[in-house]
């Protein structure tokens, strides 16, 4: 499903990160957190897709399983108040984590492919995402019953205030401009003055 104009956080979308499961096994994942306003009409569509995923896994019990897993905090869509200490979250928002063992498609507004050196998408910007809810019915040591989000793709939509201290790449505008010639350098050989 396509979800539009939502906030991106913790993007690990260009390079996979090793995740360790409760049973001790490991797997490489690409992942991100998506932040969406509670009053966004897309929230209802997300919930319907999660119910459909539950119905596919537990025929005839989709709605009940969704409600049960939601009450136990076992669905991807969570209340932002739970993580209010994270940039961009709070009472007005939901969030979900989406991940994949495959690298997601990453695109600019015009549909062109992006690479990590492009500097976007970044934590705090607005994106469109392709995600697919899916239900798992594993033993407890392998995550138990849950409704998760598979990450298919991320498209940069618009700039936003960067999370976590801002972007790491400086531009020329971040520096002073000098019209006078460069100084010849410090001829003082006493390196102990600063101690």
pLDDT for the residue 186: 56
Determine phi and psi for 111, rounding to 5 degrees: 90, -5
What pLDDT is recorded for position 20?
83
**This prediction's pTM:** 0.80
Give the confidence band of 170 by pLDDT, cuts at 50, 70, 90.
low
Residues 18-55: tens digit of each pLDDT: 988 777 888 899 999 999 999 999 999 999 999 999 99
Question: Among residues 144, 124, 127, 123, which one has the least CA distance to residue 135?
Answer: 144
Boundaries of every domain in the chain? 2-161
Say if residue 11 is exposed, middle or buried (CB neighbours under 10 Å; 0-12, 13-18, 19+).
Answer: buried
Compute the average pLDDT of residues 166-184. Answer: 71
The dihedral region occupied by 142, where left means phi > 0, alpha psi between -120 and 50, and beta the remainder, is alpha
Best CA proximity match to 118, nearest among 26, 33, 4, 13: 13
Span 52-96, pLDDT tens digits: 999 999 999 999 999 999 999 999 999 999 988 888 899 999 999
Q: Does the structural domain 2-161 have CATH classification 2.40.50.140? A: yes
- Dihedral of CA 155/158/162/163: which sign? negative
């Amino acid at each position: 499903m396509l979800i539009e104009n939502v906030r991106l956080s913790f993007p690990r979308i260009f390079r996979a990160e090793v995740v360790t499961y409760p049973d001790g096994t490991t797997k490489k994942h690409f992942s991100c957190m998506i932040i969406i306003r509670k009053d966004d009409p897309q929230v209802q569509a997300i919930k319907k897709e999660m119910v459909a995923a539950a119905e596919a896994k537990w025929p005839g019990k989709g709605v009940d399983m969704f409600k049960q897993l939601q009450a136990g905090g076992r669905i991807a869509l969570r209340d932002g108040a739970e993580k209010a200490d994270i940039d961009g979250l709070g009472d007005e928002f939901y969030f979900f984590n989406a991940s994949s063992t495959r690298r997601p498609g990453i695109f600019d507004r015009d549909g062109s492919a992006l690479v990590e050196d492009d500097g976007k998408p970044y934590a705090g910007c607005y994106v469109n995402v392709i995600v697919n809810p899916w239900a798992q019915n594993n033993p407890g040591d392998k995550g138990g019953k849950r409704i998760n989000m598979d990450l298919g793709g991320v498209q940069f939509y618009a700039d936003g205030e960067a999370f976590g201290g801002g972007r790491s790449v400086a531009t020329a505008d971040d520096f002073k401009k000098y019209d006078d010639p460069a100084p010849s350098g410090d001829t003082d050989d006493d390196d102990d003055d600063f101690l």
